[in-house]
Amino acid sequence: MKDIGSYPNVRLRRNRKAEWSRRLVSESNLSTNDLIWPIFIREGKNIKESIKSMPGVYRHSLDKVEGLVEKAVNKKIPMIALFPYTPISKKNSRGSEALNRNNLICKALRLIKKNYKNIGIMCDVALDPYTDHGHDGIVKKNYVDNDETIKILIKQSLLQAEMGCDVIAPSDMMDGRVGEIRKALDKNGFKLVQILSYAVKYASNFYGPFREAVGSKKLLRSDKKNYQMDFRNSKEALREVALDIREGADFVMVKPGMPYLDVIRLVKDNFKIPVFAYQVSGEYSLIQNGINNKILNEDAIYESLISFKRAGASAIITYFAEQIAGRLR
């Protein structure tokens, strides 16, 4: 770094003396434009079901979804992400419910798109909410079969696009799935449907509460290390991102978020593409439990989200989206 002067001529605290001054020189800022709100949906009517491991987060029946979308629109959150809780009776080894035209996601898409045109909807593309083994794809001989899984993911993507999904988000980590999904979307008249690739998804210990939320936690009998990334690696992330960009991804994701801020920065510095971050369920629960137990104050939420922006994230999927949006207006 070049010579930047010395004390007493230089006093860095001068720019920190008042709120207006700190605002003028702030390097990273957060707005509602940066937020994506994940919403868990379930079958039934008039249900708002708490998720034990995620205090303040709920599973909502479809008749409650429009009210949530209305909140997002009013708070100027640009996109929501839908995740289904699938009853065990509808799960099997191939995740067939993912291709049911009347599954929860399809019904929610039709409902929302009928009345709301100016909010984006992101849909997860993976089989773990629908399989009876909890894995993201087709398991053969205790190994997730990459190419067989992609065949189903293509069908799942096309179905979601047909129902009105704006952003297809493959989170499965199968090699080559982005390119195959992009080709299928284009061939079937969905050239403007965007792909948010979970390009850098680590085999992390921070996903536990999410798996409870979608009902896959108790079913998962082994880890996902043979398809999700090793958390010891960062340069591998650049290869994953490069491949997904070449295959047609419109945005890329780093997941989890806060333990991987270095990876967000690495991707941002190496590629000219929007980089999203997912503040995952384990991160949310740690912060929210800290607040509930008066270990942290609520400003920790804002601080955590600013850390993503400082690292270079273009947008953040966070369970705090609706809460923090009210403070940002």
Cα–Cα distance, 60 to 42 (Å, whole number): 6
Q: What is the pLDDT of residue 56?
A: 97
Domains defined along the chain, listed by start: 32-328 (3.20.20.70)
Banded model confidence at residue 1, pLDDT cuts 50, 70, 90: low
User: Minimum mean pLDDT among 24-28, 60-64, 180-184: which range?
Assistant: 24-28
Q: What is the pLDDT of residue 221?
A: 78
Average pLDDT, the chain: 96
Q: Which residues are bridge partners to 148 per DSSP?
A: none
Q: What is the pLDDT of residue 4?
A: 77
Active-site pick, 64, 75, 224, 255: 255
Q: What angle do CA 120, 29, 4 make, to 5 degrees?
A: 150
**What are the backbone angles phi and psi of residue 305, rounded to the nearest 5°?**
-70, -35
- For the cut 90, the answer to whether the pLDDT of residue 2 exceeds it is no
Q: What is the pLDDT of residue 18?
A: 95
Helix (H), strand (E) at residue 66: helix 62-74
- For the cut 90, the answer to whether the pLDDT of residue 321 exceeds it is yes
Place of tokens 């773990």: 128
Q: Encoding tokens for residue 79? A: 């996109």
Q: Per-residue pLDDT tens for 218-260? A: 888 789 999 999 999 999 999 999 999 999 999 999 999 999 9
Q: Per-residue pLDDT tens for 266-317? A: 999 999 999 999 999 999 999 999 999 999 999 999 999 999 999 999 999 9
Instruction: Classify residue 220 as exposed, middle or buried by CB count within 10 Å of its CB (0-12, 13-18, 19+).
Output: middle
Banded model confidence at residue 9, pLDDT cuts 50, 70, 90: confident
Place of tokens 């966070």: 318
Cα distances from 62 to residues 110, 111, 196, 304, in angstroms, run 11, 8, 25, 31
Amino acid at 126: A
Active-site pick, 64, 107, 201, 268: 201
Assess whether 151 carries a catalytic annotation.
no
Assess whether 255 carries a catalytic annotation.
yes
Q: 209 near 53, Cβ under 8 Å? A: yes
Banded model confidence at residue 216, pLDDT cuts 50, 70, 90: confident
Residue 131 DSSP label:
B
Q: What is the pLDDT of residue 121?
A: 97
Cα–Cα distance, 120 to 113 (Å, whole number): 10
